[in-house]
């Protein structure tokens, strides 16, 4: 799986969770994960999570580290497993830094305040994952925590690279592991 840290600031609005967005914008073809920093504002009209639409829960973060991944030849259930793997890798990276992080499904919490948003969905030919980690929690519509504002993590770019490298290596290793066993 290919990785790329995008240096330009991008406001995540939900429409970027689309087939070939990574390929069209960054010329990365195939399975990939990219990360970028920017404001996050997902209105109900762009929501993929129907539960959030029903509950009238738009998403906002003044500053968020966003990961978008597109992976091909994968069903939606496996896509959700891969989304949860990404969440667990983020949790491990934060716990390694000494933070007590709680996971509930695809959400992470610090001090009982929401740290992340995440969704996995299926396009016509791929699965798409967006996971966002608040950097600055001010202005969030829910009780939220942030990497910089509450956890004191300011080297966001290196943190993003660490997460993407671990995720990419894990996915590649899972696929490789599936090729070394004999069927029974």
Domain regions of the chain by residue span:
2-177
| pTM reported for the whole predicted model | 0.95
77-127 pLDDT, tens digit each = 999 999 999 999 999 999 999 999 999 999 999 999 999 999 999 999 999
- pLDDT higher than threshold 90 for residue 139: no
Q: What angle do CA 36, 41, 46 make, to 5 degrees?
A: 105
What secondary structure letter does DSSP report for 151? Answer: T
- Reference 61, options 156, 137, 157; nearest CA is 137
Q: What is the CATH number of domain 2-177?
A: 3.30.930.10
- pLDDT higher than threshold 90 for residue 57: no
């Amino acid at each position: 799986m290919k990785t790329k840290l995008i240096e330009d600031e991008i406001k995540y609005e939900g429409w970027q969770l689309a087939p070939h967005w990574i390929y069209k914008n960054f010329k990365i073809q195939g399975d990939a994960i990219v990360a970028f920093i920017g404001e996050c504002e997902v209105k109900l009209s762009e929501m993929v999570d129907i539960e959030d639409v029903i509950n009238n829960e738009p998403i906002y973060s003044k500053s968020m580290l966003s990961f978008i991944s597109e992976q091909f030849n994968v069903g939606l259930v496996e896509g959700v497993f891969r989304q949860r793997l990404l969440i667990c890798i983020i949790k491990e990276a934060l716990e390694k830094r000494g933070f007590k992080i709680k996971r509930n499904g695809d959400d992470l919490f610090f001090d009982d305040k929401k740290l992340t948003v995440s969704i996995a969905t299926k396009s016509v030919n791929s699965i798409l994952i967006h996971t966002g980690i608040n950097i600055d929690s001010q202005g969030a519509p829910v009780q939220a925590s942030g990497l910089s504002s509450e956890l004191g993590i300011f080297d966001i770019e290196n943190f993003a690279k660490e997460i993407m490298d671990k995720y990419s290596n894990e996915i590649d290793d899972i696929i490789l592991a599936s090729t070394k066993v004999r069927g029974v």
